[in-house]
Amino acid sequence: MTTQAAPSMNDLDQMPPPDIVTMVQAGKQALEAGDLDTALVKFEEVVAQFPERPEGFNNLGALYTALGQFKQAEACFSRVLAVLPENDNVRYNRGVVRIRLRDFSAAIADFEVVLATNPHDADCWNNLGVAVFLQQDFGNAREHFQRALELAPDFPNAVLNLADADLADGNRAAAIARCEEYLENFTDDEVQVKLLDLLETEIRERLASVCKWTESLLIAPATLAGLRDRIERLHRADAMLTGSMSSEPA
C-alpha cells in the first residue's frame, strides 16, 4: 500500500508570538541543513517553553513523523487538535501516523472527519483506502482509491493501490491493464516498475506452464527436431528469467 506522507509544518490558525517564530525558524533551518538531531532539540524547546501553543506540537509531530517515531507524532497532533479541533491538516497528519501505528479504525475516523468538510481531497481518499484495505475490506478500499483517481487522474499512488486491490482479488490481468492505461497518459517511475514486476511474474508463470507440458516432447522422434528446438529455447528463456528473478535483492 502507498500512502501520501503527512505534510510538514502546516500554518495554524493563530498568530504566534515573535519568540516562538524565531525558535521555530531555527528548527526549520536545522531541518533544511539535514541536522535532524538539532531540529528535534529546537522543536522540543518550543514545546517546553510554549506548552499552550499548538504550532510547537505541530512542528514536533511532523518531525517525529519524518523520524518514524509515530507514537510520539500521534501524541503531538492530538495535543494540537485539543486546541484546534477543526484543523483538517493536523487531523489528516494524525490519520497518516495512525496507519503507521496500525490503528486503522482510528485512522479511518480521522480521514472521514476531514472528508466530511473537504470531499475533494484526493490524498485523503487515498489514505482512507489504505486504512480500509489493511482491514482486509478490499471492495470499499477500491472505491476510495477510485474516488482519489477521479479527483486526480495523474495520481500514481491511487493507481498503485488500485493495482494492489486487484491483486488481492487474484486479478493480475486487471492490475496490468490499470497500470498500462495510466502510463498511456502519464509518466511515473513507480507505476512503470509495478507494471514491469507484474508482467515479469506473468511471463515467468506462463513459461513455467509451457515447460511443464512440453517435457515429453523433448524425447519425440527426430521428425520433431524443429519443435524440440523451440521447446529448448523456451526452457532456456525460463531458466534465464527464473535466474534474474531470484538474483534480485529482497
Domain membership of residue 234 (yes or no) is yes
CA 8 from centroid of its chain's CA atoms:
17
Domain membership of residue 246 (yes or no) is yes
- DSSP letter at 13? S
DSSP string for residues in 199-243: HHHHHHHHHHHHHHHHGGGGGS-GGGHHHHHHHHHHHHHHHHHHH
Q: Which of the listed residues 37, 70, 101 is the one where a domain comes to its end?
A: 101
Q: Which of the listed residues 101, 127, 143 is the one where a domain comes to its end?
A: 101
Check residue 250 and give its pLDDT: 34
Rama region for 68: left / alpha / beta (φ>0; ψ in -120 to 50; rest): left
Domain membership of residue 184 (yes or no) is no
Domain membership of residue 145 (yes or no) is no
* Domain extent at residue 221: 206-250
Check residue 137 and give its pLDDT: 96
Domain membership of residue 126 (yes or no) is no
Domain membership of residue 142 (yes or no) is no
Torsion angle in degrees (nearest 10) through CA of 27, 34, 40, 12: 50
Mean pLDDT, contiguous 10-residue spans, the chain (250 residues): 58 58 79 82 80 83 91 95 94 98 98 97 98 96 97 97 95 96 97 94 78 58 58 67 48
Q: Which of the listed residues 101, 133, 165 is the one where a domain comes to its end?
A: 101
User: How many independent structural domains does the chain possess?
Assistant: 2
Sign for the pseudo-dihedral over CA of 40, 46, 52, 54: negative
Rama region for 170: left / alpha / beta (φ>0; ψ in -120 to 50; rest): left
Domain membership of residue 185 (yes or no) is no
Domain membership of residue 177 (yes or no) is no
Q: What CATH number corresponds to the domain at position 10?
A: 1.25.40.10
Q: What count of residues does the chain have?
A: 250
CA–CA dist 177, 109 (Å, integer)? 32
